[in-house]
Amino acid sequence: MFMQKTLSLIKPDATERNITGSINIRFEQAGLRIIAQKRLWLTKTQSEQFYKIHKERAFYDSLCEYMSSGPIVAQILYGKNAVAKNREIMGATNPANAEIGTVRRDFGQSIERNTVHGSDSFENAEIEISFFFSLLEIIE
Residues known to be catalytic:
117
Q: Which is nearer to ligand IDP, 110 or 140 (CB)?
A: 110
> H helices within 1-139, ranges in order?
12-16, 20-29, 44-50, 60-67, 82-90, 103-107, 122-132
Neighbours of 41 (CB within 10 A): 12
The residue sitting closest to Mg ion, measured at its beta carbon, is 120
Residues lying near ligand IDP in the complex (CB under 6 A) are found at 54, 59, 63, 93, 111-112, 114, 117, 120
Q: Which is nearer to Mg ion, 25 or 55 (CB)?
A: 55
Residues in 65-124 that interact with Mg ion by CB under 5 A: 120
